[in-house]
Amino acid sequence: MKKRSLFYVPVLMITGILSAGAANVPITSLTKNCKPLINKNLEIPKVQIRALPERSYKRISRALEKLAEENYVEAIELFKKLLASTDNLYVKATVARYLGISYAQQSKTNEATKYFSQALDFGKGYLQPKELQDLTQNVATMLYTNDQKGKAIEYLRRWLKNSNIDNENVYLLLAAILSDTGKIRESICPAYWAAKVSKKPNKNAFGVMLNAHFEFKEYDGTILILKQLILDFPTEKRYWRNLVAMYSQQDKLDDALAVMEMYYVLGYMETESDYKQLSSMFAFNDIPYRTAVILKEGIEKGFVKDTEKNWKNIASNFHVASELKKAIHAYGKSADKTSSGENDLKQAELLADDEQFKKAVAAFNTALSKGSLKDEGRAHFRKALAHLGLKQYNSAIGALGKASKYKKWRRQAVQWSGFAKNQKKNASKL
């Protein structure tokens, strides 16, 4: 049997989880071979900077004024007229891009996709490379929104081929689409690079990696990712719970308990499952005092159901931990919630063991009054001993007489009855 301070915090967990510095991306068996998705040495072709013809510029400006006023109908009508009337590919590309934006702002993704695609077609050799890349990304996003995931992947691959600059959002979108389409292994590296190039921890990128590692049963990597997620997002309780589950699944029960205990110390416990899990883990590790304390706290804070079964569990663990007064209280709480006298009997026996004989007799009487006892003879016998402790010899002899009617207790009752009578006789002489 072990007993720990209520606020014991494993040193391993403090140094291993909460003292980490800047966020990073774990290297696992599935991420260690992730090669860059772009060629940073790629030379981007230079495109001549063009100016819009004055007439086209004025017409576009009028349409943009309507767009700024959210007068989408008139803005779109002006853009479409210009698109149909001009042969200038630079103007066409520019207008088609604005049409795509106009529809995107209204969440009309089919129309937005159509015009962004046209802008790409018209803009080759006319729009700047970054503008083309932005359009490519927009088309991919719209295709994904419209559930055209295969085409979206094609556009994202095209973006990667033409880029020498990392883009967290492109990587993440590609990872998400690959994961959604069942290409889970292929999703790992885009997710890895999305997390790697992000200026701050990217929960979604880690989520894709986490799913993939679990899917392929790469549990060591799953644990590493969960630990990093806890570092980056310590208040996200699901990551703590998932890490506990993973350690438990791997039979790393000490680590599971350490994580769950840190979760408790940080004040994150908020469900009945949390309290019962931690209490059960202490029980499994033969730490009855903490088993009882955690479950009791859960009840008192309103997270754990206030039931006879839970209080009985608390009481039995306090008893094993030699915390008699706490066990007596818990058995009393348990007894209040049932019509059976069984828990009253347990309480009475502990009161007698603690030499609180008067209270013990009252509890024995309650137990016998309620009934439904597994061993009624025991209740009479132990009640008799409590009376002896109070030197109430007549009451003791009477209780022993009742105990002697039960075969299991007859012999002991007769022996103690003789003792009680002798004690009474001696007392009368005095």
pLDDT digits (tens, 9 = 90+) for 47-91: 999 999 999 999 999 999 999 999 999 999 999 999 999 999 999
- What distances in angstroms separate CA 172 from CA 109, 166, 205, one per listed residue? 20, 11, 6
Q: What is the pLDDT of residues 3-26, one digit of tens each?
A: 444 434 443 343 344 444 444 899
What's the CA gap between 24 and 232, in Å, rounded?
9
- What distances in angstroms separate CA 317 from CA 179, 295, 327, one per listed residue? 47, 10, 8
Q: What is the pLDDT of residues 327-364, one digit of tens each?
A: 999 999 999 999 999 999 999 999 999 999 999 999 99
Q: What is the pLDDT of residue 17?
A: 46
H helices of 198-287, in order, are 203-215, 219-232, 237-249, 253-265, 272-284
Q: What is the pLDDT of residues 127-178, one digit of tens each?
A: 999 999 999 999 999 999 999 999 999 999 999 999 999 999 999 999 999 9
Q: What is the pLDDT of residues 258-290, one digit of tens each?
A: 999 999 999 999 999 999 999 999 999 999 999
> How many other C-beta atoms lie within 10 A of the C-beta of residue 139?
27
11 φ, ψ (degrees, to nearest 5): -60, -40
pLDDT, averaged across the chain: 92
Report long-range pairs for 390-396 (Cβ below 8 Å, ≥24 apart). 390/357, 390/358, 390/361, 391/423, 391/427, 393/420, 393/421, 393/423, 393/424, 393/427, 394/424, 395/361, 396/420
Residues in the chain: 430
Q: What is the pLDDT of residue 16?
A: 46
- What distances in angstroms separate CA 145 from CA 119, 140, 153, 173, 174, one per listed residue? 19, 9, 12, 11, 13
pTM for the whole structure:
0.80
pLDDT band at 426 (very low <50, low <70, confident <90, very high): confident
Give me the mean pLDDT over the 85-105 stretch. Answer: 95
Residue 96 carries which side chain, given as an amino acid letter? A
Give me the mean pLDDT over the 177-184 stretch. Answer: 96
Q: What is the pLDDT of residues 215-245, one digit of tens each?
A: 999 999 999 999 999 999 999 999 999 999 9
Residue whose tokens read 């702002």: 105
Evaluate whether the domain defined by 49-163 bears CATH number 3.40.50.10280. no
Give kind and range of the element (H or E) at residue 370: helix 357-370
Contact in structure between 327 and 42 (CB atoms under 8 Å): no
pLDDT at residue 2 greater than cutoff 80 = no
pLDDT band at 113 (very low <50, low <70, confident <90, very high): very high
Q: What is the pLDDT of residue 430?
A: 62
CB burial readout 293-311, b (16+ within 10 A) else e: bbbbbbbeeebbeeebebb
Burial bucket for residue 32 (CB in 10 Å: 0-12, 13-18, 19+):
exposed
* pLDDT above 90 as % of the chain: 92
DSSP structure string for 99-158:
HHHHHHTTT-HHHHHHHHHHHHHHHTTTS-HHHHHHHHHHHHHHHHHTT-HHHHHHHHHH
pLDDT band at 429 (very low <50, low <70, confident <90, very high): confident
Q: What is the pLDDT of residue 15?
A: 39
Question: What is the CATH superfamily name and number for domain 343-430?
Answer: Tetratricopeptide repeat domain (1.25.40.10)
Nearest 5 degrees, angle CA 235-CA 240-CA 241?
A: 125
Nearest to 195 by CA among 28, 408, 25, 381: 25
Contact in structure between 283 and 317 (CB atoms under 8 Å): yes
Q: Residue ranges per domain, the chain?
A: 49-163, 343-430
Contact in structure between 245 and 237 (CB atoms under 8 Å): no
Contact in structure between 162 and 155 (CB atoms under 8 Å): no
Give me the mean pLDDT over the 89-116 stretch. Answer: 94
Contacts of 219 (CB under 8 A, 6+ apart): 213, 246, 249, 250
